[in-house]
Chains A and B, each alone.
Chain A
Amino acid sequence: MAHSTNERRVISVVVMNESSVLARVTALFAGRGYNIESLTVAPIPNSEMSHITIATNGSTKVMEQITKQLHKLIPVYKVIEHEEMVEKEMVLVKFPIAENLSDIAALCSTYNGGIVNVGKEMVIAQVADEPKRIKHFIEAAERYNPTEIVRGGVVAIER
C-alpha cells in the first residue's frame, strides 16, 4: 500500500439528512488516517438526503477502502467514486481597489467569473471553474496583491 502512487480523487457521498451524519463521515477519515483536501455539503432539493463532496488523495487500494468504509456507515446511501466526474469549485478573492481593476475583471472573466462587489478600499471577485483552473487563477491573481482568498471546495456530479 505504501508504495503505490497517491492520486487525487473526488468522492461523492449521498447521505440521509440526520444529525451528526457529517461528523460520522469526517470522523471516519480522521480515525482511519485518510486525508481530506476539501469538503462540501448541502441538502439535495426535494429529498431527505444531502450530498457530501470530498476531495481526497491516496492509492487505488486506499480509495477502495475509503469507499467501502463510507458504505458501512448506516446513514450513507450511496458512494460515487470514479474518474468520470464533472468538478467545479468556486473562489472569492479580495483585491485592493488601487489595483488595475480592468485587468482583474479580464482575468476573472477568463475563468468564468467577474467582480461581484466594490467597496471603498476593496473589490471582491468571484470565479467558478474546474479545480485545476482555480489553482491557475489564484496563481495569476497573485500579481494583483489579493488580501484574502476563500476557496469553496469541490462540488462534483457524475457525467
Chain B
Amino acid sequence: MAINKKILELKKRREQVLLGGGEQAIQKQNAMGKLTARERIMALLDKESFNEYDLFVEHDARDFDMEKKTLHGDGVIIGTGTIHGKPVCIFAQDFTVAGGSLGSMHARKITKIMDHSLKMRMPLIGINDSGGARIQEGVNSLAGYGEIFFRNTLASGVIPQISVILGPCAGGAVYSPALTDFVFVVDKISKMFITGPEVIKTVLGEEISMEELGGARVHAEITGNAHFFALSEDECFQQIKKLLTFLPWSNTEKSIDVPARPPKKSFKITSIVPEDARQPYDVRDVVRSIVDDSDFLEVQELWAANMVIGFGKINGGTVGFVCNQPLVLAGVLDVDSSDKAARFIRFCDAFNIPIVTLVDLPGYLPGVDQEHAGVIRHGAKILYSYSEATVPKITVIIRKAYGGGYIAMNSRHLRADFVFAWPSAEIAVMGPEGAANIIFKKEITTAADPEKMRKQKVEEYKEKFANPYVAAAKGYIDSVIEPAETRTMLIHAIDVSLRKDISMPRKKHGIPPF
C-alpha cells in the first residue's frame, strides 16, 4: 500500500513538471507558430523512445527574490531516445519556462547530457530556444555557457553535434551552435546574433529588424552559419533525420550501410556537360547520376553556391561530395566557397567518410574585394584540409582544371588516392586564351594580322594542352574514363580503399589557416 501511495505522488509530481511553464505559456508559444520543447523532442525522436533525465531539477538562484520562484526543469529538457532505431542524446530549451533563460542548473543539465553523449559515443542534438543568460544568476550563468562551449569543443570530431535553432539564440549563446557540426534553421522562427537590434540601435544608431539582422535566411544565404534551411519545424525535423542516415555515430565507426541501389535512369551522365567549356551545367545532376537512387543531400545549399557539398551513398556507403558548380560564378574558388569546402572536408575526414571531388573550375575569383577579404588565407584552407585528410580521397576532373584551382581540388599532389578524368578534361596551367597570349606574345604582336595569329595560337594551344592526356602521361591522373564509367570507377576506388592506412607525422595538432 505504502509504495502505491508513493507511486501516486511521483505521478503527480511528474504531471506538474511536464507542463513546463504552464498552459498559458504553452498557448503563447504555439501562437508564435512554435512547438513546445517537449513536442519538438517527440516529433524528432522515434515514437515512445524518449527517456527523460533531470525532470525534477530546480534552479538554485537566491538573489532578487528568485528563491520564491519555481522553474520546472529549470527551462530545459534533456534525455536520450532513438532515431532510425539508434540512440541519440538530446536537449531542448523550454521557452515557456522563464523564456528558456540559461541559469546554472539549466546549464548543468545540458552539460550532463553532453558528457553522456561523448562518453557513450552517440550524436548530440541541441534544440535552442532561449532568451539568453538568466541575468539574476549573474556570473553563474556565464560559467554555464563556458562549460557548454568547452564540451562542444571536446566532442568536436568525436561525435556528430547538431544544433537546431528554433527561437532566439543571442549573445554568447550562439557560440555553442557555431562550435557544432550542423546548424538547422527554420524560416521566421530562428534568430541568431551576437548583439541584437536594440543594442545596435542605441550604440550605433543603425536600425534593423531581428529577421534582417539574424533570421534563418540571413544565416542560410549570407553568413553561412546555418547548414540547413527549412520552411517549418516539421520539415526541419525531417532534414535532421535524413542527415543522420548518412552519418556514423562516432569517429570510430562507419556510417550506416544500406542496400545498394542504382541511380535513377532519368539522369543521363553523358549528356549533362555541354561541349563548349564556357557553357554552364548543374554539377548536382552529375552527382545524382552517380549516387544510389540519385539521392543527394546538399549541405549549405544557399550559401556560396559556386561550391556544392553534401552527402550521397555509393553502393550503400556514405560519400562526401565536394564539387565546383559551373552554374554559379562559373564555379570559381573564392573566400566563402573555400571556407565551405574546407570545413566539410574536415568533417568527412574526422568521421571516416570517403571524399569524392568533382572538378570543373576556371580558378580563383579575381577582385580587390576578394584579395582584401583574405582570399589567400581562406583559399589555403582547402589545400590544408585536403592534404591533412586521410580518408579515401577520389577526384574526378570533369572539364576545366586550371592553375591553382587544379592543385587545390584534391590533386594527386595533395595525395589523392585516385584521380580520374573525363575525355572533356582540360588540365593546364591556365586557360588556353591566357596561356597562348603569354607564350606566343612575340609571334602575335609581330604578325601581319595579330588577331588572326592570336586565334590560331589559342587553337594550337587548345589542341596540344587542353586535354587530360598531358597530365595522364605524367601519371598525375590514373585513368581517363568515359562519363558513364564514373560510378563503376568510384565503387572500385572505394572498395580498394577499404583498408587504407597511412600515418601522418606525430603532432599535437596542426595550425590550419583559420
Question: Are A and B physically bound partners?
Answer: no
